[in-house]
Amino acid sequence: IERMMAGSETSLSLQQFIASLDQTCLPRILQVCSGVYFQGSVYELSGSEVCLCTGDLVKVVNIQLLSVSCEDISNNEKFELPLNHAGLFKLVPEKMPYNTIEEMLSLRPEALEVCLPFSFTSKCELTFQNFTLGAGKIVTMLSIEQQEGVKEKHIRCHLHGQQGQLAEVLVPFSCRGEFYECESDNTYTLQEIITLPKASHCLRWLASFP
């Protein structure tokens, strides 16, 4: 499958495309560039049989999940879970740095209103309102605030300083550094996870129920 983008084209499998897709961006136009198709390239769409050929354009208008494809990262074993799977999971944050507070918040896999408070760390030492935050210290975000007369948004945070003191400060969205998200204690069912904007997530399996 070839993803048609403004000024560029990227080839990837249909499964990879669906895993990276933000459903709010639908519809999207794809072009078949090569591959092996099931049932002799014949598919049933809305009661009619169609054949996909190299060069064909496909318009993706919606996604209907039938199951969830998983991979055990400890042994690369692949398996599927039914949508009604009973169990609890934790979201494992990606080990990637964020350059600003705004970038970190905009790329979170879940809405902020359902995950506060949430925590992150800074790789470098930072100073906020005469308070020094040591490298690697945990910052706990409590809320997002818009001060009167100030255009830029801020986050209200709890900070633990180098001497162990606790402070509550406002940090601007534009604050630059090297930030890493900490793992949250929030737990989710499979149904809750598949409603998140991004389709691909790293999960920690906590428990299953009969």
188-197 pLDDT, tens digit per residue, is: 888 888 777 6
Residues 37 and 9 in one domain: yes
> pTM to 2 decimals?
0.60
Residue 10 token pair: 């990227």
Quote the CA–CA distance of 59 and 74 in Å, as a whole number. 36
Residues 16 and 118 in one domain: no
Instruction: Give the least confident one: 32-36, 81-85, 116-120.
Output: 32-36
Residues 177 and 143 in one domain: yes
Q: What burial class does residue 68 get, using C-beta atoms within 10 Å of its C-beta: 0-12 exposed, 13-18 middle, 19+ buried?
A: middle
* pLDDT value at residue 6: 42
Residue 202's pLDDT band (cuts 50, 70, 90): confident
* pLDDT value at residue 150: 80
Residues 148-163 have a mean pLDDT of 80
Read out DSSP for the chain? -EEEETTEEEE--HHHHHHH--GGG--EEEE--S---GGGGEEEETTEEEE--TT-EEEE-----SEEEEEETTTTEEEEEETT--EEEEEPPPS--EEEHHHHHHT-SS-GGGT-SEEEEESS-EEETTEEEPTT-EEEEEEEE--TT--S-EEEEEEE-TTS-EEEEEEETT-EEEEEEPPP---B-HHHHTTSSSS---EEEEEE--
Residues 40 and 115 in one domain: no
* pLDDT value at residue 197: 63
Residues 130 and 202 in one domain: no
Quote the CA–CA distance of 66 and 59 in Å, as a whole number. 20
pLDDT at 209 over 60: no
* pLDDT value at residue 179: 92
Residues 159-165 have a mean pLDDT of 66
Residues 111 and 148 in one domain: yes
Residues 50 and 153 in one domain: no
Residues 86 and 135 in one domain: no
Number of domains in the chain: 3
Regarding predicted confidence, which is higher, 103 or 50?
A: 103
**Domain containing residue 44:** 2-60
Residue 199's pLDDT band (cuts 50, 70, 90): low
Instruction: Give the least confident one: 4-18, 38-52, 166-180.
Output: 38-52
CB contact set of 32 (below 8 Å; sequence gap of 6+) = 1, 2, 52, 53, 54, 55, 56, 57, 58
Residues 120 and 151 in one domain: yes
How does pLDDT run across 99-150, given as a tens digit for each residue? 998 988 887 766 666 667 888 999 988 887 777 888 888 889 888 888 788 8
Residues 104 and 137 in one domain: yes
Residues 105 and 170 in one domain: yes
Residues 196 and 167 in one domain: no
Find the largest Cα–Cα distance for the chain.
70
